[in-house]
Amino acid sequence: MTLLTGMFSKRVACTFALAMTLGVGVAGAAHAQEARIAAVNSDRILRESAAAKAAQVKLEAEFAKRDKDLADMAQKLKSMSDSLDKSGASMSAADRAQKQRDLSQLDTDFQRKQREFREDLNQRRNEELAAVLDRANKVIKQIAEQQHYDLIVQEAVYVSPRIDITDQVLKALAASGN
């Protein structure tokens, strides 16, 4: 029994030592200031902020003429194609071949211009959204400093409404005129 008592007392001593270590750790953590954490939904900022809406209006105005030109070009393509379909059978082979070449050339130009338009629009959209996010990040940093947050995350799988400060960031962005 002495052996069992010895093993038992060693287990109790180890358990007691572990509890003391954890107890000190818990007590130490209780005395430390709690970390302040918040979260921001970047997608909402890009959808709902006045700055993002202004950027969208700016892009629409900037690309409206090119968009209209493309729509006109598409309509011309459709008209030429319909005309060739209707009267192609009654045309001479040379005229029909010329119309097909013209249609093919216009289609190639249209596709090139459409691709360039999409690329330019995407590049400008990315520039504008980056500027909006940059302004939002400055506002978020100001809020963090003013309200003594230790951590503010922008991307998370789940965020409790209790720590979501997106509305506060949107209000601050609107107040700053951004």
Residues 39, 9 share a domain: no
> pTM for the whole thing?
0.68
Host H or E run for residue 115? helix 93-147
d(CA 39, CA 168): 11
Regarding whether 82 and 13 lie in a shared domain, the answer is no
- Residue 104 is predicted with a pLDDT of 94
Query: DSSP class of residue 80?
Result: H
Residues 5 and 44 occupy one common structural domain: no
- What's the domain range around 4? 1-32
Residue type (1 letter), 91: M
How many structural domains comprise the chain?
A: 2
79 plus 49 within the same structural domain: yes
Q: Does 135 lie in the same domain as 62? A: yes
**What gap in Å lies between CA 8 and CA 4, rounded to an integer?**
6
What confidence score (pLDDT) does residue 177 get? 74
Give every residue of the chain whose pLDDT is below 70, as ranges.
1-32, 178
Q: Does 37 lie in the same domain as 25?
A: no
23 and 39 in a single domain? The answer is no
pLDDT at site 120: 97
CATH label of the domain that carries residue 51: 3.30.910.20
pLDDT at 13: 39
Residues 126 and 83 in one domain: yes
Q: Is residue 48 within 8 Å of residue 131, measured between CB atoms? A: no
User: What does the pLDDT read at residue 34?
Assistant: 85
